[in-house]
């Protein structure tokens, strides 16, 4: 059984499902006013890996992820560019899906848009006012968090300590700096909707609670996002459900930070400025590999060097596909993901080990290390003329890599044998400090169309 860390308790607990065999999950999606950044990519990959693993084990998954298409940033961007908010939102939503498709992130089953849910949000705000947990000010409607049982659960802090740490409130009408906007009163030139409590637009925290409960129902299984969303966004979503007396998410999952090139993100340092930029310059599978190489709650560092290193590891998987003539199991499945039975003769011990790793709070680094051991074992078996045994291990490795969303590629984009030979030769030349030879080999690789990088584990090449 899958055990996951639950932010609400700070412990790793079994994922107890609302109904047997079915998983309902909500993951906060993008606010579409700019190119997706690298942190968005990690978050999407982490929850894609979780979703793929649930599917792999035979569970039925209902995955919902929203698009915030009205917000301060979108309004500001539209004003800067002399465009309408829907134009800005449509453009950056398209860029978002381009990046997600390139990463091999499965599309959500439902993608609710905030602007399509305004009526439901108005109804919720009206009800919270009627219950006396919300109050009106001259600029909108706020939730009074002092009335919410257990406020601070996801911050893992009491209301008192949150209050002590809160910024000084500029808005004198707010009862507490922790109170948050459910509804923002209309301003000149901004998109707005009519409501009994005044024309305006919904707050972000109201959007997610309304859409998740509408599409997944009370007490859905899992709510996720980056760790920066736990407080205040998720706390505030939960507060509204509590005020309504509705059971909310049973389990809270948050992934760790991304560090891009140390403390600073800079083009001049050769690091990646956006996810779109990264995907233009590297094999998208390398970013996934880099993400699964670390535990989802640990920080990861994304630099040209760590990406090139991941591309090198990917090269080992692709080399396996070439030697054993393995195809792309994800594409072959016809459903976009693999399940355990897709390779009927897969090694049972390796499958059991994979499940043990993944059930242990998604130990993807351990699972990946096991996959690379299978790769080595497959080559050794084939070297010892056990073609059949080698092939079975290779197919098992391909299945487990595919379960993490990593398809193997024997063909285009993959490192061919000639390139692999030049890379090995160059690493040997560098080891022998024959830098003239190493430089000549680099030139040969560049002439073949490769970008060559020196990484801690040797030469890495990518298109």
| Smaller CB separation from Zn ion, 208 or 343 | 208
- DSSP label at residue 152: T
| Smaller CB separation from Zn ion, 28 or 239 | 28
Q: How far apart are CA 389 and CA 129, in angstroms?
A: 68
Q: How far apart are CA 207 and CA 240, in angstroms?
A: 11
| Smaller CB separation from Zn ion, 223 or 285 | 223
For the chain, how many residues are written? 463
Q: How far apart are CA 365 and CA 320, in angstroms?
A: 20
Residue 347 Cβ, how far from Zn ion at the closest point, in Å?
40
Residue 110 Cβ, how far from Zn ion at the closest point, in Å?
14
Instruction: Give DSSP secondary structure letters for 359-371.
Output: HBT--HHHHHHHH
From residue 54, alpha-carbon distances to 58, 370, 458 in Å are 7, 19, 35
Residue 350 Cβ, how far from Zn ion at the closest point, in Å?
37
Query: C-alpha dihedral over 119, 123, 126, 127, to 10 degrees?
Result: -170
Residue 45 Cβ, how far from Zn ion at the closest point, in Å?
18
Closest by CA to 152, choosing from 161, 142, 141, is 161
Closest by CA to 408, choosing from 449, 452, 363, 378, is 378
| Smaller CB separation from Zn ion, 208 or 403 | 208
**Is there a contact between 357 and 403 (Cβ–Cβ < 8 Å)?**
no
Residue 1 Cβ, how far from Zn ion at the closest point, in Å?
27
Token match 């351990």: residue? Answer: 366
On the CB side of 20, CA atoms within 13 Å amount to: 0
In Å, the largest CA–CA distance within the chain is: 80
Tokens found for residue 454: 């020196």
Residue 156 Cβ, how far from Zn ion at the closest point, in Å?
19
On the CB side of 63, CA atoms within 13 Å amount to: 22
- Residue ranges that bind Zn ion, judged by CB under 5 A: 28, 208
| Smaller CB separation from Zn ion, 249 or 358 | 249
Residue 207 Cβ, how far from Zn ion at the closest point, in Å?
7
Residue 113 Cβ, how far from Zn ion at the closest point, in Å?
13
Beta bridge partners of residue 458, listed in sequence order: 455
Token match 């040969």: residue? Answer: 444
| Smaller CB separation from Zn ion, 28 or 78 | 28
CA angle 391, 397, 403 (to 5 degrees): 135
- DSSP label at residue 31: B
| Smaller CB separation from Zn ion, 153 or 393 | 153
Residue 154 Cβ, how far from Zn ion at the closest point, in Å?
12
- Residue 127 CB partners (closer than 8 Å, separation 6+): 244
H helix count then E strand count, the chain: 16, 14
Residue 208 Cβ, how far from Zn ion at the closest point, in Å?
3
B/e letters for 218-247, b = 16+ CB within 10 Å, e = fewer, are eebbbbbbbbebbbbbbbbbbbbbbbbeee
| Smaller CB separation from Zn ion, 88 or 208 | 208
Residue 66 Cβ, how far from Zn ion at the closest point, in Å?
6
| Smaller CB separation from Zn ion, 28 or 286 | 28
Tokens found for residue 233: 């966004």
| Smaller CB separation from Zn ion, 208 or 422 | 208
| Smaller CB separation from Zn ion, 185 or 232 | 232
């Amino acid at each position: 059984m899958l055990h996951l860390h639950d932010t609400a308790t700070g412990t790793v607990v079994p994922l107890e499902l609302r109904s047997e065999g079915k998983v309902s999950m909500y993951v906060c999606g993008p606010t579409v006013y700019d190119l997706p950044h690298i942190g968005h990519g990690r978050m999407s990959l982490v929850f894609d890996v979780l979703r793929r693993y649930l599917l792999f084990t035979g569970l039925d998954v209902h995955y919902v992820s929203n698009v915030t298409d009205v917000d301060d940033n979108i309004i500001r961007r539209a004003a800067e560019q002399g465009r309408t908010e829907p134009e800005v939102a449509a453009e950056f939503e398209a860029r978002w899906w381009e990046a997600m498709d390139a990463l091999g992130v499965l599309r959500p089953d439902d993608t609710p848009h905030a602007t399509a849910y305004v009526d439901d949000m108005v109804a919720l705000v009206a009800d919270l006012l009627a219950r006396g947990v919300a109050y009106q000010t001259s600029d909108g409607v706020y939730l009074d968090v002092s009335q919410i049982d257990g406020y601070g659960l996801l911050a893992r802090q009491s209301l008192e300590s949150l209050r002590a740490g809160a910024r000084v409130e500029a808005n004198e009408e707010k009862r507490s700096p922790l109170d948050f906007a459910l509804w923002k009163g209309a301003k000149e030139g901004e998109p707005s909707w009519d409501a009994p409590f005044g024309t305006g637009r919904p707050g972000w925290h109201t959007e997610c609670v309304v859409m998740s409960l509408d599409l997944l129902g009370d007490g859905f299984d899992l709510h996720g996002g980056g760790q920066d969303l736990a407080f205040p966004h998720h706390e505030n979503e939960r507060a509204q459900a509590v005020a309504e007396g509705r059971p909310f998410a049973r389990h809270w999952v948050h992934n760790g930070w991304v560090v891009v090139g140390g403390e600073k993100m800079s083009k001049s340092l050769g690091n990646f400025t956006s996810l779109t930029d990264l995907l233009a310059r590297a094999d998208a599978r390398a970013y996934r590999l880099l993400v699964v190489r670390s535990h989802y709650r640990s920080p990861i560092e994304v630099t040209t060097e760590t990406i090139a290193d991941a591309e090198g590891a990917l090269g080992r998987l692709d080399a396996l596909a070439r030697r054993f003539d393995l195809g792309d199991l994800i594409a072959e499945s016809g459903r976009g993901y693999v399940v355990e039975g897709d390779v009927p003769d897969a090694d049972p011990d390796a499958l059991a080990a994979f499940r043990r790793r993944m059930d242990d709070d998604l130990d993807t680094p351990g699972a990946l290390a096991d996959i690379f051991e299978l790769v080595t074992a497959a080559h050794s078996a084939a070297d010892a003329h056990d073609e059949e045994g080698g092939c079975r291990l290779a197919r098992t490795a391909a299945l487990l890599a595919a379960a993490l969303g990593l398809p193997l590629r024997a063909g285009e984009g993959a490192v061919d044998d000639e390139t692999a030979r030049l890379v090995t030769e160059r690493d040997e030349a560098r080891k022998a400090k024959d830098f003239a030879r190493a430089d000549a080999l680099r030139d040969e690789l560049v002439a073949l169309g490769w970008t060559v990088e020196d990484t801690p584990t040797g030469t890495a090449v990518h298109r």
